[in-house]
Amino acid sequence: MTMNGTRTIANMTRIALIGAAAAMALAGCMKTPEEKAAFAARQAAPTAVVMSPTKGAAPTQSGLATYPDGYPSFGAPLTAANVQMSDDEASGLQKKLTALGAQRKAGTISEAEYQRRVAEYRKLAADHGIDTLNEINN
């Protein structure tokens, strides 16, 4: 056999081995649907744990998980800082604002009264956060 023939066979063998190694490496990267679902579940954001308001009293349970020796564990999901607005409260506010808009559109409320109520609601929105923080701190 000639030197060119030997080189050709060596090159073809090398290419075949590289292709086989690449195929095996890529086959190892493929995951089953169950593995993909388990990975997605681990990557999902934790759900917030909402604690009941204590109105200044010490909470009955801590929002932080602790190790058996008493030190806090920051690996557990954190709890919500405050109780969220309920659906009933949200629908009540929505009804109030819808009625106010309907009164304005129908002309049963003066523009000055409408602007006064809008200013009142805006002031409530601006001060509500500060008032709630003061209530939490006391």
Q: What is the pLDDT of residues 3-20, one digit of tens each?
A: 778 888 889 999 999 998
Q: What is the pLDDT of residues 41-55, one digit of tens each?
A: 888 777 766 666 666
- The amino acid occupying position 93 is L
Q: Are 52 and 82 in contact (CB under 8 A)?
A: no
Q: Is 56 left (phi over 0), alpha (psi -120 to 50) or beta?
A: left
Q: Are 73 and 65 in contact (CB under 8 A)?
A: yes
Task: Assess whether pLDDT exceeds 70 at residue 63.
Answer: no
Q: List the chain domain ranges.
A: 86-137
Closest alpha carbon to 83 in 36, 48, 123: 48
Output 129 or 17, whichever has higher pLDDT.
17
